[in-house]
Amino acid sequence: MKYTLGNGFWSRRILKVTEKMIPLQLSILKDEAPGTEPSHAIENFRIAAGLKEGDFHGMVFQDSDIGKWIEAAAYSLKLKKDPALEKEIDDIVDIIEKAQMPDGYLNTFYTLKEKGRRWTNLQDCHELYCFGHLTEGAVAYHQATGKTKFLDIMCRFADHIDTVLGPEENKLHGYPGHPEAELALYRLYLETGNEKYLKLSRFFIDQRGTEPNFFRGEWEKRGQINHWTGRPAALNLKYTQAHMPVRQQKEAVGHAVRALYLYTGMADIAAQTGDETLAAACEALWDSAVNRKMYITGGLGATAMGEAFMCDWELPNDTAYAETCASVALCFFARAMSRLKTDGALDDMVERELFNVIPAGVSLNADRFYYVNPLEAVQGVSGKEKGLEHALPARPKWFACACCPPNVARLMTSLYEYSARETGDGIVLSQYLDGTMDFDRARVTLETGYPWEGALHYTVEAREDQDVFLRVPGWACPEETALTVDGAPAEVKPEKGYVRLALSRGTHRILMILPMKPRRLYANEHVRHDAGCVAFAFGPMIYCLEGCDNPEPLWNLKADPDAEITVSDFRSELLGGVRVLKIPGYRRADTADGLYSEKKPVYVPQTLTAIPYYAWANREEKDMRVWVRE
């Protein structure tokens, strides 16, 4: 499928990524960005290649940033040719090729810093994780340009891994501590047709958590020493989802990004092989993650301790971790699950991520980034007090652990892959991505003012009789959704979230109008942090209060539960262009005599102003709050 940008919400954001974020990230990876700590990622490869003298610097997984950036840049090249960008990638690939060992091994941390200790700490040290991201970059670059050098490099590395890891007696029976190789090997199999890579991906999934537990044996061999602390530490198998075989796992636990990458690989393999037990495990894990452990914004991983899921319903707002990478990973998982079934609920979750946490992870200028996405920020406390150091009130320029910015870039430049797909049943239009998508059987163009307006104008040029599936989002009432096909009204009776349209060969005009109105949302009674509170939404977007628009402190504001919420006209001058919500409510006006008082609080009328959550922290530093007292 070929995608051409349009002029709407998503096209403008994709352009911002291609024109600003990708060049900025390259300058950081090349240590050329003023005021930003050196990444040393490319420098590590130069040293490993013998092109420079020096030592390894950065995280053990520093190589992975290069893979993700190349993947994002490759998708950008698919959208628009850019010879200068292509040359930058080719130059990096030449360095990577020189850094590869004669046996195919490729990892700068072990080549430069831990010589002779390859494959001795799969749990902590990310060799397979780095392999995975470099491989995904190589596959994307091959698809974008047809060039094979990078793909050949990663195939040699994959072939080397296959000589070291596997079910045979003379191999290590290990698997990735940070899942990612599973996804990459699957994509490498699809790109090359080499069954060896599919088999190795499946081995990693099947082997995880089995007895004797590989990570426990590894941990005992190294004297129970943890790589990160350099000291003996207890073994936490849930952290790496290695506490039991994957088919027995029913609850999302441990490091959220690792978990969601693993689940993505499981769903890919289940769809490819028809493994029903693996598919059933994916269903249970999806249900656990999104129905009991996900924030209303789409954030996943509630605690900074291990960047992990907490127990069911435990979703604190000010200490929320909600790593940007976890929301990107949920999109991966949903796309893999869509290969098992067509279900609008999967695509609803992708939409929630795309309009909330993922864009919140990047400033409107595309030059600052959030790793963590709290649902409440308090000046002087957030980012400073113990236990809240991670919940920064302003986006940094970069991170020592810089996994999130290139992850967002590669998702955004490949957004067309999440927006539509051609299946045996027809063309499934799952996200409202403006522009033109050219499939084998049809060309589909969408013009829309979404998400600020509900009208979706499709032009479908069908090259043959064709079924087209339009998603009706879960937040939209079907009875209030209007649909016409070539000017004639059509029924809106979605099945599994989709309306099926049988189109004949030729050109058809389809208009779907979604009911765009503000909504109040309430948390499940088991979510103690949100009791007595309300959140606000407009279309797919969750809104928040920010101190720039409301009197602080925000915790002294209350929303009137019965008053009508109004929506402003589109304000092009505000936060890159938004519609704001006006919510009648109250403000606590008195001050107690001391720390505690018998004096009853007094509330006076106050109109609350809410902006889209993704747009917060783009003005002066102020308080922010998603859940509002009611």
Omega before 553 within 30 of 0, i.e. cis: yes
* Residue 558: exposure state from Cβ atoms within 10 A (0-12, 13-18, ≥19): buried
**In terms of DSSP bridges, do strands 427-429 and 466-471 run parallel, antiparallel, or are they unpaired?**
parallel
CA gap 349, 340 in Å, rounded? 16
Spatial separation of the C-alpha atoms in residues 78 and 101, rounded to whole Å? 31
Task: Kindly state the tokens that stand for 490.
Answer: 């059509």
Calculate the alpha carbon distances from 541 to 201, 351, 538 in Å. Answer: 36, 9, 5
Tokens of 581: 């919500």
Question: Which are the contacts of 42, defined by CB distance < 8 A and separation ≥ 6?
Answer: 29, 30, 31, 66, 92, 95
591 compared with 465, residue with greater pLDDT: 465
* Cβ count near 255 (within 10 Å): 24
In the chain, the N- to C-terminal Cα span, in Å, equals 47
Cβ proximity of 550 and 585 under 8 Å: no
C-alpha to C-alpha distance for 563 and 270, rounded to whole angstroms: 49
Binning pLDDT at 50, 70 and 90, where does residue 467 land?
very high
Which residue shows structure tokens 């063309």?
427
Q: How far apart are CA 465 and CA 322, in angstroms?
A: 44
Instruction: Supply 531's token pair.
Output: 């009791």
- pLDDT beyond 90 at 507: yes
Catalytic residue list? 307, 403
User: Using CA atoms, how far apart are residues 303 and 321, in angstroms rounded to an integer?
Assistant: 5
pLDDT average, residue stretch 487-493: 97
- Give the pLDDT confidence score for residue 35 in this predicted structure: 87
What are the φ and ψ backbone dihedral angles of 332, each rounded to 5 degrees?
A: -60, -50
Alpha-carbon distance of 13 to 16, in angstroms, equals 5
> Structure tokens of 596?
């505690």
| Length in residues, the chain | 630
Domain boundaries, the chain: 518-629
481, 472 contact by CB (below 8 A): yes
User: Where residue 593 falls among pLDDT bands split at 50, 70, 90?
Assistant: confident
- Going by C-beta distance under 8 Å and a sequence separation of 6 or more, which residues neighbour residue 196? 158, 159, 162
Strand partners, 506: 462
Return the half-sphere exposure (C-beta side, CA atoms, 13 A cut-off) of residue 486. 9
Instruction: Say how far apart CA 539 and CA 454 lie, in whole Å.
Output: 8
Using the Cα atoms of residue 87, residue 90, residue 94 and residue 99 in order, give the sign of their dihedral: positive
Per-residue model confidence (pLDDT) at position 599: 87
Residue 615: its pLDDT value, please?
A: 98
Average pLDDT, stretch 335-357?
Answer: 97
Percentage of residues of the chain with pLDDT beyond 90 = 96
* Rounded (10°) CA dihedral 436, 440, 442, 443: 20
pLDDT attached to residue 591: 73
What is the reported pLDDT for 373? Answer: 97
pLDDT at residue 559 in the model: 98
Query: pLDDT category, 37, cuts 50, 70, 90?
Result: confident
Contact 252, 293 (CB under 8 A): yes
Residue 590 has pLDDT above 90, yes or no: no
- For the chain, give the mean pLDDT: 97
In the predicted structure, residue 348 carries a pLDDT above the cut 80: yes
- Looking up tokens 């704001």, which residue turns up? 580
> Cα 501–504–509 angle (5° rounding)?
65
Give pLDDT, residue 592: 74
What pLDDT score does 76 carry? 98
User: In 3D, which of 321, 307, 406 has the Cα closest to residue 357?
Assistant: 321
| pLDDT, mean of residues 318-326 | 98
Q: What value does the mean pLDDT take over residues 534-550? A: 98
Region 511-524: what's the mean pLDDT? Answer: 98
Q: Which CA distances in Å does 439 have to 335, 420, 426, 544, 579?
A: 18, 10, 11, 39, 34
As a whole number of angstroms, the longest Cα–Cα distance in the chain is 78
Q: Which of 256, 247, 298, 306 is nearest to 277 (CA)?
A: 247
With vertex at residue 570, the alpha carbon angle to CA 454 and CA 396, rounded to the nearest 5 degrees, is 105
Query: Is the pTM here over 0.75, yes or no?
Result: yes
Cβ atoms < 10 Å from Cβ of 379: 15
Query: What average pLDDT does this structure show over 379-396?
Result: 94
pLDDT at 287 over 90: yes
For 587, phi and psi rounded to 5 degrees?
-125, 135
